[in-house]
């Protein structure tokens, strides 16, 4: 449970905290905790998919991230259906799958395991991109999202401290041979299904057609890919239980972000940086989704005795 909650926070950190980049007037501690628990639920399904489908490759990981992204954005909230077809990618694929899962859950953890120098430059790069993204809120029509550098840094620093704790907790509590229980899977799937039937579909009836097709587009290639993989998954490929100091370079995320943010604030730079993000990541999400499905479908299957 600790590892699942830690996964939920890692995902909510990249999906929500870095996205909004500031504390909004309507934010509350209870709201943040509820969001964390929701991401822990969809994060649990993501972890289960990693194990069940023996996910090791980038392409399979991205499709598992797509599953997480679409469950979050197509069930819990209904942004998948707001601006079709582009909303299929942004944010489910373009942000959740690519940034939250591939970068946040995988690449950052991999950097930590390879030492402080790799963690440092990966964190600094994430921080610069984060700071570049964050200034887009300054050009919102109502102008209420112009957070001061001090407020931006405080929010980002505290959120990153919790992220450091989450990475450390995950590494110290997730067994390398973890497998989801049938009861856990049934419970998680039932909660998602009930919410989809009684909340998402009444809000957006088109969801009843679109979401099942999207989910099938990743589950079918993942199921076929499973038959090409030996036992094991990403959960058992990296060492665990790193000392706490190995995680501290992650503080370069808010430090690099505030360096860019404060400079732009001082120079009164006003740019819609979200447009550049959108133009790059939205097509990338579609391309990676299609390529991932094709590559997994074309993989040569193992003989039955090797695949058992």
DSSP class of 77? S
pLDDT at position 184, please?
A: 95
Reported as a single tens digit per residue, the pLDDT across 110-142 is 999 998 999 999 999 999 999 999 999 998 776
> Beta-carbon neighbour count of residue 16 at 10 Å?
18
Reported as a single tens digit per residue, the pLDDT across 35-87 is 999 999 999 999 999 999 999 999 999 999 999 999 999 999 999 999 999 99
Report in angstroms the alpha-carbon separations of 294 from 63, 221, 288: 11, 8, 10
Report in angstroms the alpha-carbon separations of 297 from 59, 60, 102, 190, 219: 11, 11, 20, 28, 11
pLDDT at position 302, please?
A: 58
> Beta-carbon neighbour count of residue 303 at 10 Å?
7
Distance CA 77, CA 61 (A): 23
Reported as a single tens digit per residue, the pLDDT across 170-211 is 999 998 889 999 999 999 999 999 999 999 999 999 999 999
DSSP class of 228? T
Say if residue 85 is preceded by a cis peptide, omega within 30 of 0: yes
| pTM of the predicted structure, to 2 decimals | 0.94
Would you say residue 306 has pLDDT above 80?
A: no
Kindly report the backbone phi and psi dihedral angles of residue 294, in degrees, each rounded to the nearest multiple of 5, phi listed first. Answer: -65, -45
Would you say residue 303 has pLDDT above 70?
A: no
Distance CA 194, CA 206 (A): 17
Reported as a single tens digit per residue, the pLDDT across 229-280 is 888 888 887 766 788 999 999 999 999 999 999 999 999 998 999 999 999 9
SS3 257: helix
Would you say residue 304 has pLDDT above 60?
A: no
């Amino acid at each position: 449970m600790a590892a699942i909650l830690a996964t939920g926070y890692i995902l909510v950190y990249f999906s929500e905290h870095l996205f909004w980049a500031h504390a909004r007037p309507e934010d509350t501690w209870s709201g943040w905790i509820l969001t964390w628990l929701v991401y822990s639920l969809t994060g649990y399904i993501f972890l289960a998919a990693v194990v069940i489908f023996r996910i090791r490759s980038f392409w399979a990981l991205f499709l598992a991230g797509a599953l997480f992204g679409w469950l979050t954005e197509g069930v819990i909230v209904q942004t998948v259906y707001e601006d079709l077809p582009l909303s299929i990618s942004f944010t489910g694929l373009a942000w959740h799958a690519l940034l939250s899962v591939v970068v946040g859950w995988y690449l950052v953890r991999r950097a930590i395991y390879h030492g402080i120098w790799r963690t440092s430059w990966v964190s600094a790069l994430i921080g610069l991109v984060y700071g570049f993204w964050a200034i887009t809120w300054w050009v919102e029509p109502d102008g209420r999202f112009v957070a001061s550098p001090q407020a931006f840094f405080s929010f980002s620093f505290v959120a990153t401290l919790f992220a450091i704790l989450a990475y450390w907790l995950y590494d110290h509590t997730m067994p390398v041979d973890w497998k989801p229980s049938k009861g856990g899977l049934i419970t998680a799937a039932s909660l998602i299904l009930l919410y989809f039937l009684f909340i998402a579909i009444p809000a957006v009836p088109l969801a009843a057609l679109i979401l099942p097709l999207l989910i099938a587009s990743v589950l079918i290639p993942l199921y076929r890919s499973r038959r090409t993989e030996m036992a094991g998954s990403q959960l058992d490929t990296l060492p665990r239980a790193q000392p706490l100091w190995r995680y501290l370079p992650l503080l370069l995320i808010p430090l690099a972000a505030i360096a860019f943010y404060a400079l732009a604030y001082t120079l009164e730079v006003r740019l819609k940086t979200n447009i550049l993000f959108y133009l790059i990541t939205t097509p990338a999400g579609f391309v990676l989704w299609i390529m991932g499905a094709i590559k997994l479908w074309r993989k040569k299957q193992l003989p039955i005795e090797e695949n058992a």
